[in-house]
């Protein structure tokens, strides 16, 4: 019990020492008497902002939610046109979101593997089955007929990564 009281006494003395230092530095900097209520309100507001639910939710990292879309072929064609690759593997399309899937419109990230044009070496064409690019696109998806559909006009290229 005595050990707990000592720890609490040290914490209280630390807080008192901190507050006295704050008030004295305020007096030195401004040349006026400190506004005790204003300084206390500012400290309480800053501490409550640190522990507010919105701040805590921003700090917590959550996994993205996978979304099934109804217009995969249209998305693949548009990704191909935007990224200037020669083909997009429709089976590799992965659509995810951090937004609430109960909303009618959500922001999505679309990732897919892309293929390069066939290489020609000394008159021989070699077609590779291995993807050469990873294409990442941001878009908006809307909820229609029980499934999400990506708005093709909202698609923008985030990055095109060369795979080695």
**Residue 37 pLDDT exceeds 70:** yes
What's the chain's average pLDDT?
Answer: 84
CB of 38 closer than 8 Å to CB of 46? no
Q: Which of 48-52, 80-84, 90-94, 108-112 has the lowest mean pLDDT?
A: 48-52
**Residue 145 pLDDT exceeds 50:** yes
DSSP string, 22-90: HHHHHHHHHSS---HHHHHHHHHHHHHHHTSHHHHHHHS--PPEEE-BS-HHHHHHHHHHHHT-SEE-G
List the structure tokens of 111. 């990732």
**Residue 6 pLDDT exceeds 80:** yes
pTM: 0.59
CB of 80 closer than 8 Å to CB of 133? no
CB of 67 closer than 8 Å to CB of 102? no
CA separation for the pair 127, 112 (Å, rounded)? 19
CB of 140 closer than 8 Å to CB of 69? no
CB of 90 closer than 8 Å to CB of 79? no
For 76-102, how does the pLDDT look when each residue is reduced to its tens digit (9 = 90+)? 999 988 888 888 888 889 999 988 888
What is the per-residue pLDDT for 118?
61
**Residue 126 pLDDT exceeds 60:** no
């Amino acid at each position: 019990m005595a050990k707990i009281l000592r720890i609490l006494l040290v914490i209280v003395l630390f807080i008192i020492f901190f507050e006295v230092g704050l008030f004295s530095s305020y007096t030195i900097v401004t040349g006026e008497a400190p506004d005790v209520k204003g300084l206390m309100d500012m400290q309480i507001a800053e501490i409550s902002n640190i522990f507010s639910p919105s701040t805590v939710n921003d700090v917590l990292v959550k996994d993205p939610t996978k979304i099934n879309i109804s217009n995969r072929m249209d998305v693949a064609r548009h990704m191909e046109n935007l990224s200037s690759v020669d083909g997009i593997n429709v089976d590799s399309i992965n659509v995810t979101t951090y937004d609430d899937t109960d909303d009618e419109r959500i922001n999505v990230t679309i990732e897919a593997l892309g293929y390069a044009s066939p290489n020609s070496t000394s008159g021989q064409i070699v077609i590779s089955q291995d993807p050469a690019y990873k294409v990442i696109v941001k878009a908006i998806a809307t909820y229609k007929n029980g499934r999400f559909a990506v708005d093709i006009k909202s698609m923008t290229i985030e990055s095109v990564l060369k795979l080695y």
